[in-house]
Structure 1
Amino acid sequence: MSNSLGSGLTELIPLAAVIALSPLSIIPAVLVLHSPRPRPTGLAFLAGWVVGLATLTALFIGISGLLGGMHDKPPAWASVARVVIGAALIVFGLYRWFTRHSKPHQMPGTAHLTSARPGKALVLGALLSVANPKVLFICAAAGFAIGTAGLGSAVPAAAIIFVAVSASTVALPILAYTFSGERLDPTLERLKAWMEKHNSALVAAILIVIGLLVLYKGIHGL
């Protein structure tokens, strides 16, 4: 391996934070805990969410390999890809910032979570992760980063860490509720209300910051 796992994580952790800190990740995890059977339904949703993230990440690692990225030395196109991805994240973040007051805060695809049963929650968890453009884009960036970082045998470990960090904020309320139950209801309601109110601003700020980091790493590698 020409690059250590620790070096690769300096790029992966910020990308994972975009997914983890997004209201579109956290709010569905809170909503599913208001279902008729919150504990099994929440755990099923978490399982689906993790499977969706892992599938997307593995897919783009595989695509990176097909493009010749799975070598000890990162290919020349990897830095160009980072520049493009970083610039796109910044543009998308700026768009979200300037349009944050133009429409009400909406959480697409979450209308059925409060009435879901475990089986349906499993499917919804997978679909909400795979069908979310922002999650798809970040998993693509992470998959290409893992596949082009020259990690060798550490590729699976890097992918597992990325998925674990990405899913951490979905896992936290669900696992906490599993052990603490209804005592968390007021806290979860306040969290949901706050994140719905500041959804667009939070997403915009995260995208711009991470975009700058990815763009810098891409330019540095050229």
Structure 2
Amino acid sequence: MLGELIPLALVVAASPLSIIPALLLVLHTARPRPTGLAFLFGWLAGLIALTSAFVAVPRAFGGAGQATPHWAAYVRIGIGVVLIAFGGWRWLTRRKAGQAPAFLKTVGRIGPLRAAGLGVVLTFVNPKLLVINAAAGLAISTAALGSPGSWFAVAVYALLAGSTVLIPMLAYAVAAERLARPLERVREWIERQHAAITAVILLVIGIVLLYQGIRTL
């Protein structure tokens, strides 16, 4: 199960939509520490809630606790095909993508309460994150872990997926002056290369999921 969860978590962690809002909040707000930490809380809460929802799906069909349900392979194959197709399209159109989405430039003007809400909303509105969290939830649900083990797996997945938000937020909270310039350079590079980054991680994880699904048929 960890072999499936870690790649999925890395896709979320490497997503520009995960990293750029966090960096904008700590670099361009009047209250960077509380605003950034509020976004972190909302982001982790959204990841946990969405993944947990998909953990519960197989239980409705009597599939919980089965290590290898028949339909799980087809779910992985389907998700893998979607990711490969979207990743290929993203790579072919990367030169036309330009900078990161314009709405991200307004993120720096929000306060802590809205930052927490934004963290939750961003986990639900992005189709790529929705597909990845669905795959993670289904992998956990079919791993025969029991309720405590499933909750622990969800927490581990959320921490890994949120690590690129968690690490810079906590680092900035304790060493803001030293990290401001390096974080700004990282943000600028991600904004320039966000389409290529997204394409590569989607293609890689799509291929992994497709292989795993075909292997278990």
TM range (shorter): over 0.9
Matched, 1:174 2:169: yes
Structure-1 residue corresponding to 2:88: 94
TM-score normalised to structure 2 length: 0.95
Q: Aligned residue for 1:195?
A: 190
**1:73-112 deviation per Cα after TM superposition (whole angstroms, max 9, x unaligned):** 3210001111111111111111110010123222354243
Quick one: which of 4, 11, 15 aligns to 2:4?
A: 11
| Structure 1 Cα separation of the partners of residues 63 and 85 of structure 2 | 26
Distance in 1 between the 2:24 and 2:206 partners? Answer: 29
- Single out whichever of 64-73 and 197-206 deviates more from structure 2: 64-73
Distance 2:116 2:206 in 1: 31
Q: Contact 1:74–1:150 at 8 Å: present in 2 too? A: no
Q: Which moved more, 1:103-112 or 1:160-169?
A: 103-112
Aligned residue in 1 for 2:21: 28
Aligned-pair RMSD on alpha carbons?
Answer: 1.3
2:129 counterpart (115, 126, 135): 135
Instruction: Look up the match of 2:156.
Output: 161
Whole-angstrom distance in 2 between the partners of 1:198 and 1:73? 39
In 1, Cα distance between equivalents of 2:214 and 2:146: 23
Structure 1, 98-107 or 188-197: larger mean CA deviation: 98-107
Aligned letter for 1:9?
L
Q: Distance in 1 between matches of 2:94 and 2:203?
A: 14
1:116 is displaced (CA, Å) by: 1.3
Provide the rounded CA distance (Å) in 2 between the counterparts of 1:210 and 1:116: 33
Of 195, 204, 209, which aligns to 2:199?
204
Determine the structure 2 residue equivalent to 1:4: none
Once the 2 structures are TM-superposed, how far is the Cα of residue 71 of structure 1 from its aligned partner? 1.9
Deviation at 1:221, TM superposition (A): 0.6
Whichever residue aligns with residue 184 of structure 1, its letter is L
Report the 3-state secondary structure (helix = DSSP H, G, I; strand = E; otherwise coil) of the residue aligned with 1:102. Answer: helix
Give the CA deviation at 1:131: 1.3
- Please tell me the residue identity of whatever aligns with 1:208: L
User: In the aligned structure 2, how far is the partner of 1:60 from the partner of 1:76?
Assistant: 17
What SS does the aligned partner of 1:198 have?
helix
CA distance in 1, matches of 2:122, 2:171: 21
CA spacing shift, 1:53–1:70, aligned 2, 3 Å: same
> With structure 1 as the length reference, what TM-score do the two structures score?
0.93
How many residue pairs are counted as aligned between the two chains? 215
Task: Choose which of 50, 59, 62 in structure 1 pairs with 2:53.
Answer: 59
Counterpart of 2:190, as a letter, is: M
Counterpart residue type for residue 77 of structure 1: W
**For 1:167 and 1:27, how far apart are their aligned partners in 2?**
13
**1:152 CA drift (Å):** 2.7
Gaps of 5+ in 2: none
More helix by share: 2
